[in-house]
Amino acid sequence: MTNLNETPCTTITIYTDGACKGNPGIGGWGALISNDKKKLEIAGFSLMTTNNEMELMAVLRSLERIKGVSKDIHLYSDSKYVIQGITEWLPNWKAKGWRNASKKPIANAELWREIDQLNQKHNISWFWVEGHSGVEGNEKADALANEAITFKTSIKRATQLEAT
């Protein structure tokens, strides 16, 4: 039941969030992935990380769950680092050999490379959402990230949705 690709659907919706207690410090990431049939909650943690790494990890682990042929995906994040990185900065980083405007290697380059590969595989629309503003999917992703930190655990919960 954790495979969202078993049944046809029009769009997969993903909400991601990262959290860190200290920066660097213990961190967690969380994601809510859903289509019209199923909902999957995933999360994980790292003992020594940064908030930006956890934001990227939430995106990466979510996209890794989407198997098979190209899918239409709406991905929501409250991280301007993630959204601007993928929609604005990435082409320049790649053109400059994964270096920033100051010619220094970009932070989290390996995570960005992996996300870039998955981004090219699917039709992803990227959306920024204001954090802690009552957006249900974002609030759930935030809660999952913090749950992973609190309990130092990984989470995977799947739900079959009722037909409406």
Give me the catalytic one of 27, 30, 78, 85: 78
Q: Is residue 51 part of a domain?
A: yes
Is 122 an annotated catalytic residue? no
Contact 76, 129 (CB under 8 A): yes
Contacts of residue 17, defined as CB under 8 A and 6 or more positions apart, other chains included, come to 29, 30, 31, 55, 58, 77, 78, 79, 131, 138, 141, 142, 144, 145
CATH code, 133: 3.30.420.10
Per-residue pLDDT of the chain (164 residues; tens, 9 = 90+): 345 554 455 799 999 999 999 999 999 999 999 998 999 999 999 999 999 999 999 999 999 999 887 889 999 999 999 999 999 999 999 999 999 989 999 999 999 999 999 999 999 999 999 999 999 999 999 999 999 999 999 999 999 877 65
Q: Is 17 annotated as a binding residue?
A: yes
Q: What's the pLDDT tens digit per position in 23-50?
A: 999 999 999 999 989 999 999 999 999 9
What count of residues does the chain have? 164
Active site residue 132: yes
- Domain membership flag for residue 5: no
pLDDT score, position 145: 98
The reply to whether 142 belongs to the active site is yes
CB contact at 8 A, 154 and 44: yes
> Is 106 among the domain residues?
no
pLDDT at 79: 98
Instruction: Judge whether 78 counts as a catalytic residue.
Output: yes
Domain residues for the domain of 154 are 12-79+123-160
55 belongs to an annotated ligand binding site: yes
| pLDDT for the residue numbered 150 | 96
Domain count, the chain: 1
In a domain, 95, yes or no: no
116 catalytic? Reply is no
